[in-house]
Chain A
Amino acid sequence: MKRAIYILVIAMMVTGTLHAQNYFVYVAAESEDEVSVVQFNGTEAKSILDIPVGVWPAEIEGPHGITIGPNGKYWYLTLAHGNPFGTLYKYSTETNEPVGKTTLGLFPATMQISKTTGLLYCVNFNLHGDMVPSTVSVVDPETMTELKRITTGAMPHGSRISPDGTKHYSVAMMSGELFEIDALRLNVSRVLMLDEKAEEAHANHAGHGAHGSSPMQHEGMKHSLVKPTWVIPHPQWNKLYVAGNGSNQVLEVDLDKWEVTNRFPTGKGPYNVEVSPDGEKMVVTYKSEGATGIWDLQSGKEIGRITNSRKVSHGIAITPDSKYAFVSVEGIGGEPGAVDVIDLQKLNLVASADVGKQAGGIGFWKMDQ
């Protein structure tokens, strides 16, 4: 009997501990000029703080990318629109007040800080129409000084750092390229074309321009069928995964061979991809169908597809314990955005919290009891 009571007490303590676990993410609402802090306690998710961002009351400045620094003391936000260049802001997680900023390129978007160099790498998405090569900005987040702009492809997106912090990966959505940047030397070290056949990409481009004399044509610029929108290195394996938004695939790239070794058919419009820290699961947002796919990476199979609470699924942040995926969902028009919480073991939607319109960039902040 004593043993049973002892076990019960222990079980209650463990359960209590689990239930007391809180997770916090920051999420940016691009058409609301607002950032929200969302708390999930294991059963319920809610926005506990809405932070207005930007300085122009009558202009939407478009907060797009968000990331939290390695020490958790600061969060970084890109405002896509400026005159004409966008801005990178640095905020304190303690006060949620801005403490620094610097101007980057056209439509700065996703970013990450390397634990190895301490530098921040941000793609300048340049969603402004012309299919011209854009850049990756490298910023010293201590002084908020832009150190270099590294030219990559057309509409670069998905800015992620290798587990050892020495490589930066991004994809060029319109030119269909994967770029590897040496995060220490700040130069492009490798480029990989992601379309199966380069000529397809060219043919597609040739057929795209309806206006022969249109000034928007750029000689030699490819127009990808894959339309890659995100890239994430595996935390343990020497592989990375690319969202093929145009081809409805996730592409597996072998980093040793530097070639595409698998193309997984997915739901419609895969947009963001993240791999759980334990390396077992891949989470993919299917932007065009408002759903999120959960993949078992050992088997290469999709093991769950969860319909999101609204349409236009966007970003992903996975908890360090690999238990939950927080998915930002944009919504359409006047709908609020949402943060959906997906249980990665049970493969179901366990909670959802409303946030501002066009919720996009999302970053995991912390766990606490």
Chain B
Amino acid sequence: MNRLLLSVAMVFSTFLVSIGQGAYQIRVNPSELTLKVDEVKTIQAVVVDDQESYVTSREILYFGTPEVSVDSLGNVTAHRPGEHQIIIISPDPQGAVLRTSYLVKVEYPPLSRIEIREMPQKIYSGTTFPVAIEVFDEKGFQREDITVVLTSSDPEIIDFDELHNLSALKPGNCVIQATAQGISTSMTLTVVKNPVVDLKISADKQQARTGDVIQIRGQAFDDKGNEVVDIPLFYSFEGRSFDISSSAGGLIKQDGRFVAEVPGHYQVAVNSGSKAARLSLKILPRNVARNIEVVGSGVVSDKHTSDLWIWEGVDGRDYAVTGTWGADGTAYFWDVTDPANIERVDSIQVDARTVNDVKVSADGKICVISREGASNRKNGIVILDVTNPREVKTISTFTENLTGGVHNLFIYQNHVYALSGGQKYYVIDIKNPAQPEIVGKFELDTPGHAIHDVWVTDGIAYSSNWQDGVQLVDVGNGIAGGSPSNPVQFAAYKYPSGAHHATFPFTSPSTGKFYTVLGDEIFPYGLNTNGPNMAGGFLHFVDFTDLDHPEEVARYELPGAGSHNFWIEDETLYVAYYNGGVRVVDISGELMGDLYRQGREIAFIIPSDPKAYIANSPFTWGAQLHKGHIFYSDWNSGLWSAKLAPVTPDETKIETD
């Protein structure tokens, strides 16, 4: 009987402990912690039971973050301002682990200085311009979160609005002061008499089409007829659309360049103080639209299709290769000599689930396909002999350093530029395609760098590096002494969204300007595995004429769809726009502003097919112009060809001087 009681007591005891552990909690002293950057304070965490008594048998572990670190003794060090949490855990091998998140507030450092930047040498009365102000804290960080108040010792001479625009109202001396959080800086300014008595405005043309860039020129003159060249001029416009249902939009830059989006009558103006001059412009429709018709198709309805490449074979006929996605590692070869009768002539299956990219050498003899999802996880590339595309042969498989998967590649002058694991590309010599050899690689050293694509032309590799933008790398051009074995980066451009996915370089025949066209890849609407998907993102046109000062000047954005791969020939862009199909866009002349709204779209075609892998779900992957036909691959339906109708004479009359 005693043994039974003892057993019951033991079970009960265990039960009690179990109940008690359920009531255990972590208590932290102090209950709140506020630190300055680099300050260290100690916290103490303990485990208490439901009577608030210490449970001394329980261990305490502290875990910090990069923003606030904590050692095993509870010494907390603040590294970055803001509100952060450290994790406190009391482990328990029986699984009754206790944890709590402890809030640490790290105060922003006090401000140390305010700087007023880029003030003009001479300030004319009657002019207005923005004042640039920078604020720094005691840790040397520039602060964007501070409200700065600008005041003037004499608001009748100089006054400010809330956006820090300075208005010089009349001649005289004045002290301006910038103040924030108890610190300030001041500057004495002199406003001089505005000598301008006359403003003139002119333009390089007064009639143009939508999308044409017009150069406006404003000139200020004094009472002696001399031009005043250092006075600020402000350009603006207003317009009235020919179509009363439309608004007259456009863009004017403060160097005087103007572009209109909608046909109509516009007035551009230049102002300086109380003086103004205006000029009327007539903007006509661009009238570039052309008919487009489907010519043929090579249907792939049992799996997703990825990229394409079209080339003239060594036999003089025309061929295409298409990859497949999330499937069985097949690439298809097509005879497209007659684009109306696309014929599948061969296929090859490799150990992969996705053949994302396919490229063919300039001589039409070598095809290289990428592998992802190989069963042995070695992935890499497969080099094929396509001398006879009706009998494609595997020459070699190359996986060295490419085991993470090759998403995209390019062939240029006996070298393959192959992405590796989304971080870098290797340069692989294929002079002997049976024995490829790595000779170089390019990788950034920025935190979290990544890559999606590489395109090589004229000895320059253009890699699309997501948040690091486009990287221009000399791989034999000579501009920076680079070679395939010694790639040398010499220029770059990145934009805030960090969605940079594909690049096509473009030298405008009509202007001589050199652009890189940078495509986004964004899926803001999530994933639909069984139905139509929608993409987002657009093409960024970056004027790279001055390699040291690239400027993003224009965009092509199709509402409700997103850009993917694209091709430029002459002054026409062919862009696969996922659910938006193929868009053909006029990119002639200087490019500025919103190209879509400027009516530059020549044609579009959407490859919808009820028999597609996902029926009636266009998701166009890539487009390429070849011998006058547009070939394009669609994720759900395969390979297509289309042709633009001939250009019809433009009846629009543009009057010129």
Which positions in A face B, CB cutoff 8 Å? 30-34, 52, 54-58, 60, 70, 81-85, 106-107, 114-119, 126-130, 138, 140, 142-143, 145, 147-148, 164-166, 184-186, 210-211, 213-216, 311-312, 330-335, 357-358
Contact = CB atoms under 8 A, between A and B. Distances in A.
B303 A117 contact: no
Contacts of B352: 333
7 contacts: A55-B527, A117-B89, A140-B87, A215-B438, A215-B440, A216-B441, A333-B328
Interface string B618-641: 010100000000000001000000
* A32, A126, A334: residue with the most chain B Cβ atoms closer than 10 Å: A334
A157 B513 CA distance: 51
Given A58-B619, A83-B450, A84-B449, A116 B97 contact: yes
Contacts of A358: 353, 373, 375
A128 B533 CA distance: 29
Given A52-B529, A117-B89, A128-B422, 20 more contacts: A34-B529, A54-B527, A57-B529, A83-B450, A83-B467, A115-B97, A119-B89, A128-B420, A129-B404, A130-B401, A140-B87, A145-B85, A147-B64, A147-B65, A211-B437, A216-B401, A216-B438, A332-B375, A334-B353, A357-B326
Interface string B84-124: 01010101110101010100000000000000000000000
A166 to B, nearest CB: 7
A264 B155 CA distance: 90
Nearest to A52: B529
A60 to B, nearest CB: 6
Contacts of A333: 327-329, 349, 351-353, 375
Interface string B419-447: 01111000000000000011111000000
A118 B99 contact: yes
The 8 closest A-B pairs by CB, nearest first: A334-B328, A128-B421, A128-B404, A31-B353, A129-B401, A333-B328, A84-B450, A31-B373
Contact of B372 (A60, A107, A117, A330): A60
Contact of A142 (B64, B99, B423, B467): B99
B18 to A, nearest CB: 15
A166 B91 contact: yes
B97 A118 contact: yes
A32 B527 CA distance: 13
B528 interface: yes
B63 interface: yes
A164 to B, nearest CB: 5
Residue from the set B95, B353, B405 with the largest chain A CB neighbour count within 10 Å: B353
Contacts of A56: 523, 527
Task: Determine which residue in A70, A164, A216, A333 has the highest number of CB atoms from chain B within 10 A of its CB, and name it.
Answer: A333
A237 B635 CA distance: 53
Interface residues of B, number: 66
A117 B88 CA distance: 10
Contacts of B326: 31-33, 60, 357
Contacts of B64: 147
A214 B438 contact: yes
Contacts of B578: 58
B26 to A, nearest CB: 12
Interface of B: 59, 61, 63-65, 72, 85, 87, 89, 91-93, 95, 97, 99, 101, 303, 325-329, 349, 351-354, 372-373, 375, 377, 400-405, 420-423, 437-441, 448-452, 466-467, 521, 523, 526-529, 533, 535, 564, 578, 619, 621, 635
A166 B441 contact: no
A214 B402 CA distance: 13
Contacts of A70: 95
Nearest to A129: B401
Nearest to A119: B89
B45 to A, nearest CB: 14
B65 A117 contact: no
B353 A357 contact: yes
B97 A117 contact: yes
Contacts of A107: 404, 421
B93 A128 contact: no
Most buried by B among A31, A57, A60, A107: A57
Contacts of B72: 185
Contact of B93 (A148, A165, A186): A165
Contacts of A117: 61, 89, 91, 97
A311 B375 contact: yes
A52 B326 CA distance: 14
A33 B354 CA distance: 13
A312 B378 CA distance: 14
A112 to B, nearest CB: 14
A57 B421 contact: no
A31 B64 CA distance: 36
Contacts of A185: 61, 72
A59 to B, nearest CB: 8
Contacts of B521: 58
Contacts of A332: 351, 375
Contact of A148 (B59, B63, B405): B63
Contacts of A215: 438, 440-441
Given A57-B533, A143-B85, A332-B375, A129 B420 contact: yes
Contacts of B87: 140, 142-143, 145, 147
B303 A334 contact: yes
Contacts of A114: 91
Contacts of B101: 142-143
A116 B440 contact: no
A138 B404 CA distance: 23
A151 B635 CA distance: 40
Given A57-B523, A117-B61, A142-B99, A85 B353 contact: no
A349 to B, nearest CB: 21
A43 to B, nearest CB: 30
A120 to B, nearest CB: 12
Nearest to B435: A210
A211 B438 contact: yes
Nearest to A127: B404
B61 to A, nearest CB: 6
Contacts of B449: 84
Contacts of B448: 83-85
B402 A129 contact: yes
Contact of A128 (B354, B403, B527): B403
Contacts of A130: 401
Given A165-B93, A334-B303, A83 B327 contact: no
B95 A115 contact: yes
B37 to A, nearest CB: 21
A130 B375 CA distance: 19
Contacts of B619: 57-58
